Amino acid sequence: MQAHHSTSEQHNVKQPSAARKPLPAFPSIAVVGATGAVGHEFLEVLSDLDVPMRELRLFASERSAGKTMHFKGASQVPAGDIVIEAASDDAFAGVDIALFSAGASVSKALRAACKRSGTLMIDNSSAFRMEPDVPLVVPEVNPQDAFSHTGVIANPNCSTIQMVVALAPLHKRAGIERIVVSTYQAASGAGAPAMDELYQQTRAYLNHEELHVQAFQHQIAFNCIPHIDVFLPDGSTKEEWKMVQETKKIMGDQSIRVAATCVRVPVLRCHGEAVSVQFKRPLSVEDARVALQAAPNVQLMDDPAHNTYPMPGLLAGTNKTYVGRLRADASVEHGLQMWVVADQIRKGAALNAVQIALLLMGKPITV
């Protein structure tokens, strides 16, 4: 890999619009939280999409500093082991884009440092998503918002991303009145230890051994847990609140009403969503199908006659948002129902953030 020397393009400190300058054609890209599940996936996606970059730097906690992670390689950064650096206040000099997935507290702690270095922060945490001057971006839905950032762009919550990718093309045609969504969320949403816990618990269950519960509030093996993130005073969870609020912000339409129930299921890394949508104007199943077929990075998998529909257990490692079970909802005027699946670590996290970077670099976001 390339040495991570300072770049020739020095950024001015305390110049508010510094981060809005055009990115270099071959930026220095950093992954913050490289050792986590999403961190690992950032390395995969940066390689798979052959993202133009002059260097790739990896940051994690002090504990991981000095260890290495293998990068499969991209056109400008050869395959090889990259030494992990400690994420610190003075670590971002020369970094053009920092892809953060180290939790909200780390993102908050390092925001000022990124600003000082003129580093664009693309943040996977929920720390800044609702701030008015932080764009919340899904490149297929609201790419224009990405360009009005002031140094930070937020990556939405995983369950929100795949829903708005599927619904935005329909919203354009018929205007969404109300969404009722129930999620079937994979263990990966709670990180690598949670995926491991699903494995370990399942194995213990089959062997009639004691189950150890740590990553989730309860046993996840052969179970469903209707509780993701913390509870709010109104009885909803923060995960459900995110789906309500983030959908409105991404779609740029505060009139969209959303009712969400978020449930963890014993699946490894793709989320499923049962989505019932009421539109303002008529939208036939056939017109919706045409719109989805033309939509970027959406793949219709909808052939009931051949038992074809997207399934979370069989789509791990893929990049698209898959839509199936598209049908009219006769219980409401202008209603449609569908089933949406995407890889939570890819489109729900790492891939979406990398696509935001590509967008700002003027590169195609097609996967």
Catalogue the active-site residues. Answer: 158, 271
Name the one range near a copy of itself by CB under 8 A: 71-79, 94-102, 131-139, 233-241: 233-241
- Torsion, CA 128, CA 145, CA 253, CA 243, rounded to 10: -40
Least distance to a copy of itself from the beta carbon of 129, Å? 20
Q: Does 180 bind a copy of itself (CB under 8 A)?
A: yes
Amino acid at 67: K
Q: Are 294 and 323 in contact (CB under 8 A)?
A: no
Amino acid at 265: V
Q: Are 47 and 21 in contact (CB under 8 A)?
A: no
| Beta strands at 270-279 and 176-185: parallel, antiparallel or unpaired | antiparallel
CA dist 30 and 97 (Å) reads 6
Least distance to a copy of itself from the beta carbon of 35, Å? 24
Name the one range near a copy of itself by CB under 8 A: 29-37, 74-82, 88-96, 180-188: 180-188
CA dist 97 and 104 (Å) reads 18
Least distance to a copy of itself from the beta carbon of 40, Å? 19
Residues in the interface with a copy of itself (CB under 8 A) total 59
Least distance to a copy of itself from the beta carbon of 198, Å? 8
CA dist 367 and 350 (Å) reads 13
State which of residues 72, 108, 172, 203 lies at the interface with a copy of itself (CB under 8 A).
203
Query: For a copy of itself, which is the closer residue by CB, 106 or 170?
Result: 170
Least distance to a copy of itself from the beta carbon of 31, Å? 28
x-marked contacts with a copy of itself along 328-357 as a string, rule CB under 8 A: xxxxx--x-x-x------------------
Q: Are 252 and 168 in contact (CB under 8 A)?
A: no
Local structure of 92: helix, strand or coil: coil
H-helix segments, 22-133: 37-48, 104-117
Q: Measured at the alpha carbon of residue 113, what is the angle toward residues 111 and 114, in degrees to the nearest 5?
A: 65
CA dist 336 and 331 (Å) reads 10
CA dist 140 and 164 (Å) reads 9
State which of residues 182, 196, 238, 280 lies at the interface with a copy of itself (CB under 8 A).
182
Residues 287-306 that bind a copy of itself (CB under 8 A): 304-305
Which tokens hold the place of 250? Answer: 């991404």
Q: Does 257 bind a copy of itself (CB under 8 A)?
A: yes
State which of residues 65, 223, 290, 363 lies at the interface with a copy of itself (CB under 8 A).
223
Q: Does 307 bind a copy of itself (CB under 8 A)?
A: yes
Q: Does 229 bind a copy of itself (CB under 8 A)?
A: no
Least distance to a copy of itself from the beta carbon of 367, Å? 23
Q: Does 219 bind a copy of itself (CB under 8 A)?
A: yes
CA dist 239 and 245 (Å) reads 10
CA dist 235 and 244 (Å) reads 14
State which of residues 14, 234, 286, 362 lies at the interface with a copy of itself (CB under 8 A).
234
Q: Does 25 bind a copy of itself (CB under 8 A)?
A: no
Binding site for a copy of itself (CB under 8 A): 178-180, 182, 184, 198-199, 202-203, 206, 217-219, 221-227, 231, 234-236, 244, 257-259, 261, 263, 265-268, 272, 274, 276, 285, 304-305, 307, 309-314, 324-332, 335, 337, 339
